[in-house]
Structure 1
């Protein structure tokens, strides 16, 4: 089966949520975005109907990118095109090509660049407006993982006021469970205010792919980029000028270079500094003129993040990062990597209490650890660190006296190579890259000694 056209059928703005209808040829789908503490009627009165329609049209456009997993020929955006400007179509293609490299690779697609974007109504024009108010509080994303809590701990210790933004998504399971888990993480900090976004998506929630496209590797979505546009509603409502996420420097490195298409494949491209800067500039130029988006952890690698996290042993029992089964499935690359980093720097009794097993001894994870160490075709398609970073973390685990089959394999295949310059590797990953980030200067000055 081949899909010819994906289409935005409708976009409805209700009092507390957006209801977006899509079509993929004869199939129909719905994405609902709920804002738990936003009144859209009040927001429209505060700003204007056209502005809110423009913001929500951008959300609908990028939420629709997940349907590009079907490799459609066309993307029909006629329903919302009057609320969009020409540059957003160029941005869409740029984001698509950055995020979907892995999907191309997994499906061995070498001759598909992007769907042709079509529309029967004329495109609108850019009219950036100012976020009203003088709120110096930073809206800070919290996904429940190590990066989120460390970012908020840094802001709190620097006495920079912040509000938390958490969202659940159908792809990760029940919304209530996700929000409960994030709430446990937030108990370790004191945000000025806590916001919730809940996304219900039947395209990812139903067994559509398994039944109709079993040969396809699955659904890819531009999760981070679309969340930036979804956060704009909260920023308008709360008068926030700064949006802070917690993406580390490792996100800038791809999993492999695919010679077939002559470019790098990076599972984390949507979190990269390149993506961050493109999205930040676009929003400021075309939507909200006094908006600023940045990652507070961009100056450091995971190696230093795990090291800094060890100062807060109380958070280990509350954080989670697994995308398969929350809080931890203990079988995926993400679980294995976070386990590795936590064991390298944190009290192993605290980590053992959470995982209740030695993942280094798990037979199913041995191929995963080999991939992390650069002993396979590419690193795992997950949000994890670089090859040398994983090697350095394993070395730290051995130095702590830890044991397990993965560590034995590392000692035999990697540590036995005396040509490796471990001092130079540690200097790279333990360094603070004070110029390679987009953090506003006045904020960086306050948090740099926390990095």
Structure 2
């Protein structure tokens, strides 16, 4: 007999999503989906008329790009784990390499969403016989030497932009806005974030989302009560039910459209080395569970492989893959200075929810490298080290567990737990008045005391500093004409060790 949990799952999860329409009209990509009988329309408006750009002048290029865009946007349904993704209607315009990449990407994107409802792995059946072999679909001229930078409201995007600027590399900026949820500080006014507007750049581009699928998931989640199932399945979880799926990879294909239109061979994101490993290993299945699997070097290599087959001279890379978060935080002061205090990095509230692991993580990383009173102002006057009843979050961030338990990195965009320990070590030395704060009492008794003498503690953190404060020159897929000037600039700053 079906249980209450079975009912909730049935009401939330999807059996089949089917892409019926993928077209381009003027400046907008129009997609129409059937999700278990529910008709959904998603539109994506670009800052140019497609047919006016040489790369999209031919109808074939527009049709194929719309089909590829639609196929990749199927990842927006990942939270509802559809068993089948039917792309038959656009299969004439889909290259085989895209289907291969989509299968890989679904497994990566689905890691967290499968885990949160007790499934092992999402591996949907993709229904399509790809027939597009007139490749490449899009081409960027070989002699172009400009870069596209994704720029939201966070520190990593601003760091990428300033690294390029200070290394003498020309760039365009872009940002997206969704009408139903706040990705930047723009709920009512459909304009860019203040940070985006404040950066002096000649070329800025905005892309607007209007997705029925987002409201569809929200309604289905509410009506099914699936979040209460999540709370029972994962008691004590420090993060809420995840649902905004597919954003990173959708951003990559949006970037590809902008790159082709403005003849920009490289698109740059700010994905860090700290995201390389799983957040934890599921003890039952042995599967690595990842919140940020799309940030890994392996993912970058796979998208390079796919893009290299279906496009020409068009790449997606992370400028920050050679650096752990520790190194990134150290670069912030010499590269972007006090402008860091205009940034915000919370995925759950704007500018900060002040409750999630990411808020606490960024607060610690910034305090280790900037004046703590300025950081408190950045967080709206909240000193997160003094917040009550937050031991669960700090323990998770610091890898403090009970005997026999395995540490789990928070299911958020946070760095390695040893990096947080290193932040605390540096904060302890800079601000001894914080030693009585709740998380620092935990740090002393659970991390420092077991290490032994002060000399042993110094040796431990020296090792962490060497590992996480380095520049890993080989760990990236960045073309040399971008990588080498940036490496040279960072080397000149003399704030990181060089691997």
Normalised-by-shorter TM-score class: over 0.9
The correspondence for 2:91, drawn from 78, 81, 88, is 81
- Segments of 5+ residues of structure 1 without an aligned counterpart are none
Matched, 1:367 2:392: yes
Give the secondary-structure state (helix, strand or coil) at the position aligned to 1:7.
strand
Q: Give the conservation status (yes or no) of the 8 Å contact 2:186–2:193.
A: no
State the Cα deviation string for residues 348-404 of structure 1 (Å, max 9, x = none).
222121210110121253211111111255111111100101110111111111522
Matched, 1:190 2:220: no
Matched, 1:144 2:153: yes
Give the secondary-structure state (helix, strand or coil) at the position aligned to 2:53.
helix
Change (3 A) 1:230 1:187: closer
Give the secondary-structure state (helix, strand or coil) at the position aligned to 1:310.
helix
Query: C-alpha distance in 2, partners of 1:17/1:46?
Result: 13
Residue 124 of structure 1 aligns with which residue?
Answer: 132
Residue 392 of structure 1 aligns with which residue?
Answer: 422
Q: Give the conservation status (yes or no) of the 8 Å contact 1:339–1:359.
A: yes
The correspondence for 2:326, drawn from 288, 303, 308, is 303
Q: Give the 5 Å matches for 1:35-434.
A: 35=46, 37-43=47-53, 47-110=57-120, 113-119=122-128, 123-128=131-136, 129-132=138-141, 134-170=143-179, 172-173=181-182, 177=186, 183-186=193-196, 189-205=199-215, 206-212=218-224, 214=226, 215=229, 217-219=241-243, 221-286=245-310, 288-311=311-334, 312-355=336-379, 356-376=381-401, 377-401=407-431, 403=434, 404-418=437-451, 421-434=460-473
Give the secondary-structure state (helix, strand or coil) at the position aligned to 2:396.
helix
Query: C-alpha distance in 2, partners of 1:240/1:367?
Result: 45
How much has 1:222 moved relative to structure 2? 2.3
How much has 1:442 moved relative to structure 2? 2.4
Change (3 A) 1:375 1:299: same
Query: C-alpha distance in 1, partners of 2:197/2:53?
Result: 29
Change (3 A) 1:142 1:175: closer
How much has 1:91 moved relative to structure 2? 1.1
User: Mean Cα displacement is larger for which, 145-154 or 64-73?
Assistant: 64-73
Query: C-alpha distance in 2, partners of 1:430/1:100?
Result: 31
Residue 23 of structure 1 aligns with which residue?
Answer: 34
Q: Give the conservation status (yes or no) of the 8 Å contact 1:155–1:447.
A: yes
Give the secondary-structure state (helix, strand or coil) at the position aligned to 2:363.
helix
Matched pairs, number: 447
Change (3 A) 1:429 1:436: same
Give the secondary-structure state (helix, strand or coil) at the position aligned to 1:19.
strand
State the Cα deviation string for residues 328-353 of structure 1 (Å, max 9, x = none).
11111111111111111012222121
How much has 1:171 moved relative to structure 2? 6.4
User: Mean Cα displacement is larger for which, 243-252 or 162-171?
Assistant: 162-171
Change (3 A) 1:301 1:182: farther
TM-score (structure 1 length as normaliser): 0.92
Change (3 A) 1:450 1:15: same
State the Cα deviation string for residues 35-60 of structure 1 (Å, max 9, x = none).
1x211231378531111221221111
State the Cα deviation string for residues 276-332 of structure 1 (Å, max 9, x = none).
11112211212x211122111111111111111123343133111111111111111
How much has 1:193 moved relative to structure 2? 0.4
Change (3 A) 1:200 1:442: same
Change (3 A) 1:203 1:363: farther
User: Mean Cα displacement is larger for which, 304-313 or 289-298?
Assistant: 304-313
Q: Give the conservation status (yes or no) of the 8 Å contact 1:251–1:272.
A: yes
State the Cα deviation string for residues 14-69 of structure 1 (Å, max 9, x = none).
2122121212212232222121x211231378531111221221111121123243
Q: Give the conservation status (yes or no) of the 8 Å contact 2:55–2:61.
A: no
Change (3 A) 1:212 1:43: farther
Residue 493 of structure 2 aligns with which residue?
Answer: none
Give the secondary-structure state (helix, strand or coil) at the position aligned to 1:207.
helix
Query: C-alpha distance in 1, partners of 2:83/2:258?
Result: 34
Q: Give the conservation status (yes or no) of the 8 Å contact 2:176–2:208.
A: yes
